[in-house]
Structure 1
Amino acid sequence: MSKDVHFSFEDLKVYQRALDFTDFVYSLTATFPREELYGLRSQFNRAAVSIALNTAEGSGNSDLQFNRFLQMADDSLRECITCSTIAHRRSFISSEENQKVREMLLEIFKMIKSLQKYLKSKKEK
């Protein structure tokens, strides 16, 4: 019988929310027009994935490095807002879907900023 392998970054709530968001974006972009397969659809998916990837990658580093990766996750979050706005303007997603994206990203944004504040406070001690 094998034991489940678990990594500490998987316990981070921001990481878990980023995975939930990625799942949501993949479902959302699956309905985009075929000609957007390598355009907005791909960009939106990659930006969503990047939030989780940067959170995971940075967590194993120093606090300073982790903060740098969290900033990259925040940058990807802003990219997702723009992708959602474009998708809504092009009528690929509804107003409600666009709002859901924004609500999910606001939650993740607040988590990232809280974690960055915590890391900064540790440094100042």
Structure 2
Amino acid sequence: MGEIQNHRDLKVWQISMDLVETVYRLSRTWPNHELYGLVSQARRASVSVPANIAEGAGRRRTGEFIQFVGIARGSLAELETLLILANRLRYVDGDARDHLMSDIAEVGRMLTGLIHSLRERQTR
């Protein structure tokens, strides 16, 4: 991994931003009584992923970056759980769920790869 100039250069940040947009669009169709519950929680969890990547990239130490990428992974797992719940409550159909789960898995793989790359850089 080369030197990161800006968090916006990271493909994982770009894709996680796309995921946030998808979650916002999809959650608009959820019941109004969920606005301050599941809608709000899913949106916050989705935003937390690119936000923590950005915050970590802005830190001076690689160890701090790794910590924030770990937090992003936790938020991604939270988002996955909330989307499974939304599907169980029939707020999300199977196709939308499958598409989102695929996106979540891709971002998860990328976050894991970023952590491995950062750890390698840290040991040099």
* TM-based fold match above 0.5: yes
Matched ranges for 1:44-63 at <5 A:
44-61=42-59, 62-63=61-62
Q: Please give the secondary structure, in 2, of the residue aligned with 1:57.
A: helix
Gaps of 5+ in 1: 1-6
Deviation at 1:90, TM superposition (A): 0.2
Deviation for aligned residue 1:10: 0.7
Partner-residue secondary structure (3-state), 2:36: coil
Corresponding residue for 1:82?
A: 81
Return the letter of the residue paired with 2:62.
D
Q: Secondary structure at the match of 2:90?
A: coil
Q: What's the offset of the Cα at 1:59?
A: 0.2
Partner of 1:71: 70
Q: TM-score, normalised by structure 2?
A: 0.93
2: CA distance, partners of 1:8 / 1:89: 39
Correspondence for 1:41 = 39
- How many aligned positions are there? 119
Match in the other structure for 1:111: 110
Distance (Å, rounded) in 2 between the aligned partners of 1:116 and 1:72: 11
Distance in 1, Cα, partners of 2:119 & 2:55: 18
RMSD over equivalenced CA pairs, Å = 0.9
List per-residue Cα deviations over 1:86-108 (Å, max 9, x = no partner). Answer: 00000000011111111001110
Runs of 4+ in 1 over 3 A off after TM superposition: none
Structure 2 CA distance, aligned partners of 1:81 and 1:63? 27
Inter-partner Cα distance in structure 1 for 2:87 and 2:72: 22
Q: 1:46 deviation in Å?
A: 0.4
In structure 1, what residue type is equivalent to 2:72? A
- Cα deviation for residue 37 of structure 1 reads 0.3
| d(CA) in 1 for partners of 2:6, 2:109 | 21
User: Shift of the alpha carbon at 1:66?
Assistant: 0.3
Q: TM-score, normalised by structure 1?
A: 0.93
> In the TM superposition, what is the alpha-carbon distance from 1:109 to its structure 2 partner?
0.5
Gap regions ≥5 residues in structure 2: none
